[in-house]
Amino acid sequence: SIPLLLEEALTVAQQKQCSLTVTGHSLGGWLAQITVFVARAQYPEIHTRAITFDTPGAQPMLSQINPRINPIDLERLDNVHTGTVYRVVFEPFD
């Protein structure tokens, strides 16, 4: 079963002939990846993608549930890292 909000967004994308992008940070990024996985499994004709920030990554969990539903090629999930990661460390202060 697909969440109602996602189904509505995919219906609009299909009617308007456009793509769907889901974004999220941290846990929201993980949820964005899961959302795209479900969308691509049930609506493969609609281009969906996730843009995530500082997410733990969902591929290990997706590898476990993939055989239980309509299997899709996990490489189609575009697990490409783009951009540059910066770590900012501040000196201790009083």
Helices (H), 1-94: 4-16, 27-42, 59-65
Q: CA dihedral defined by 17, 34, 81, 13, rounded to 10 degrees?
A: 10
pLDDT per position in the chain (94 positions), as tens?
A: 678 899 999 999 999 999 999 999 888 988 898 898 888 888 889 999 888 888 777 777 777 776 666 666 666 555 666 666 667 788 887 7
